[in-house]
Amino acid sequence: MTGRAGHLVLADGTLFTGKLFGADATATGEVVFTTGMTGYQEVLTDPSYCGQIVTMTAPQIGNTGINAEDPESVDSRPQVAGFVVRENSPVVSNWRSTESLDAYLKRNGIVAISEVDTRRLTRYLRDNGSQNGAIGSEPVDVLVERARQAPNMEGLDLVARVSPTSAYAFKESRGSWDPEFAPGQTVPPRSEKLRVTAIDYGAKRNILRCLVDVGCDVQVVPANTSAQDILATNPDGVFLSNGPGDPAAVDYAKKTIQELLGKKPIFGICLGHQLLALSLGAQTYKLKFGHRGLNQPVKDLTTGRVEITTQNHGFCVDVDSLKGIARTTHIHLNDNTSEGLEAPDLKAFSVQYHPEAAAGPHDALYLFERFRTLMQSARK
């Protein structure tokens, strides 16, 4: 694959050479890796990756191009700071494809680099931890300095970058994405519609689709919406979305959730899980290299079942800090970290992983039904 000569440089000076594609610029951000053979378009457009240079561990990326159906961000734009691959496929072949990966990244101003030894890079990040880096064609010493000057992820509020500035209604269902139905067929309507206010910290479209599919009338509001304004609309429940950055830095979200606890049923996913934990009085911390990918094993402590999940997070809830505050419901089987909690008296629960992302592929969809049941019981 031809391209402009360039470098990926980590803040500690570690150098990786390659060929630049996408936008002709320089990018900085936290360098992370995600495992999985598919889903690069979903990765690129997931707002939880804001501020990060994402490395794909699958060796060839771009072979199916870019389509109009798969973006996860509501505005369909890529959210990553930069992109790293072993091989940018020179051939694009898929009936849904509308443009190549290179053209898409170039159009959206995203810097990418190929022909990088991504196995070496992944092992390095695994052993030494994620750190800031820079991609570009500038001299190596300049790139190193750019990486070192980039803001650290700890203490960084990235929610403000990805949250919408105004409220909107979301009505799209999974439709043809749902394997239980024929292509193009809509999900059967529920007899009782439940009103859900989703606080958008960087929400993925497929999460919102799953809420619609279990019979929710979804109104999405910006992350800085006050509890008073949310309660004024009298929703049946409140959903806390995924999102990027350090949860401890999003003080305004913690305050809002604390004012909502016990007043409305609450369900959180990913960053929403971390923010719920902080609002209850627990603590969070940064993982060495995070959990990112679609093959993460999680155990449901209530049923004993193991779910294969999709995850994307660099911060984690301290399990010990939950004791006496909430019950741990799920754990990660690779490292026993927090993957779920519940506070029954407050009608609140959350999970760290992404139940909508179909890794299992249907292992965790019961969580949306659980939220519906919780809202129905609160109505009585």
List Cβ neighbours of 142 (8 Å cut-off, separation of 6 or more): none
Enter the DSSP assignment of 135: E
- Phi-psi region at 244: left, alpha or beta (left = phi > 0; alpha = psi -120 to 50): beta
List Cβ neighbours of 253 (8 Å cut-off, separation of 6 or more): 159, 199, 201, 223, 240, 247, 275
User: What tens digit of pLDDT does each residue of 48-77 get?
Assistant: 999 999 999 999 999 999 999 999 998 889
Token look-up 């910006």 returns 222
pLDDT given at position 362 = 77
Q: Does position 183 have pLDDT exceeding 60, yes or no? A: no
Task: Give me the chain's average pLDDT, please.
Answer: 93
pLDDT given at position 88 = 96
pLDDT given at position 201 = 98
Q: Does position 229 have pLDDT exceeding 70, yes or no? A: yes
Exactly one of 30, 72, 87, 356 is catalytic; name it.
356
Is the pTM above the cut of 0.85?
yes
**Bridge-based pairing state of the strands 338-343 and 327-332:** antiparallel
List Cβ neighbours of 373 (8 Å cut-off, separation of 6 or more): none
Token look-up 């990553």 returns 80
Q: Does position 136 have pLDDT exceeding 90, yes or no? A: yes
Range list for CATH 3.50.30.20 in the chain: 4-149
When comparing pLDDT for 74 and 139, which is higher?
Answer: 139
For the segment(s) 159-379, the CATH number from 1.10.1740.10, 3.40.50.880, 3.40.980.10, 1.10.240.10 is: 3.40.50.880
Lowest mean pLDDT among 4-13, 97-106, 125-134, 180-189: 180-189
User: What tens digit of pLDDT does each residue of 250-266 get?
Assistant: 999 999 999 999 999 99
List Cβ neighbours of 344 (8 Å cut-off, separation of 6 or more): 327
Percent of the chain with pLDDT over 90: 87
pLDDT given at position 27 = 98
pLDDT given at position 3 = 75
**Bridge-based pairing state of the strands 87-88 and 82-84:** unpaired
User: Rounded to an integer, what distance in angstroms lies between the CA atom of residue 330 and that of residue 301?
Assistant: 6
Burial of 92 (0-12, 13-18, 19+ CB in 10 A): middle
Q: Among this protein's residues, is 154 annotated catalytic?
A: no
Q: What number is the average pLDDT over the span 296-316?
A: 95
Residue pair 20/116 in contact by the 8 Å Cβ criterion = no
Q: Among this protein's residues, is 356 annotated catalytic?
A: yes
User: Rounded to an integer, what distance in angstroms lies between the CA atom of residue 63 and that of residue 172?
Assistant: 28
Exactly one of 270, 307, 339, 342 is catalytic; name it.
270
* CATH, domain range 4-149: 3.50.30.20
Range list for CATH 3.40.50.880 in the chain: 159-379
> Residue 195 — φ and ψ, nearest 5°?
-90, 120
Q: Among this protein's residues, is 270 annotated catalytic?
A: yes
